[in-house]
Amino acid sequence: MEKKKVVIVEDDRLLAIVLRKMAKSMNFEVVSVAHGGEDAIRMVEKHRPDLIMMDIMLADSVTGVEAMQKIRQHSDVPVIYISAQTDADTRRTAMEVTNSFYLMKPVNIHELKSALVNVQFAAA
């Protein structure tokens, strides 16, 4: 069985390493780690992942939500937001993106596995 591909979008390099290890432990192939929104858009177009793990506040001027809104113009790839943003407006705006789930930092492997149940992978 072919591994599902994931793009991780996280500007905190240490957390990106942790997320990479979690993804690999769940049998995902990490095809790219992006640190900004523009980079995320390019990596999703290039790699066509089965899943995106996305922070909301990123290193560049494009937020994770804005990046996902652009990605949604050409892809229904599921997204799991992993963010420290606790305000209701940010969370509501993020959840307006279809096929998404929102986790609060810090995240653990059990929460991530539960989130995977809540997103719909496209039929292969």
Q: What is the pLDDT of residue 21?
A: 98
Q: What is the pLDDT of residue 119?
A: 87
Domain count, the chain: 1
pTM greater than 0.85 (yes/no): yes
List average pLDDT for each run of 10 residues in the chain, which is 124 residues long.
Answer: 92 97 96 97 98 95 96 96 91 90 95 89 50
Asked whether residue 111 is domain-assigned, the answer is yes
CA-CA-CA-CA torsion sign (33, 39, 44, 50): positive
Asked whether residue 124 is domain-assigned, the answer is no
Asked whether residue 37 is domain-assigned, the answer is yes
CA-CA-CA-CA torsion sign (38, 43, 48, 52): negative
Residue 36: give the domain boundaries: 4-118
Q: What is the pLDDT of residue 117?
A: 86
Asked whether residue 123 is domain-assigned, the answer is no
Q: What is the CATH number of the domain that holds 110?
A: 3.40.50.2300
Q: What is the C-alpha separation between 55 and 100, in angstroms, rounded?
A: 12
Q: What is the pLDDT of residue 85?
A: 87
Asked whether residue 32 is domain-assigned, the answer is yes
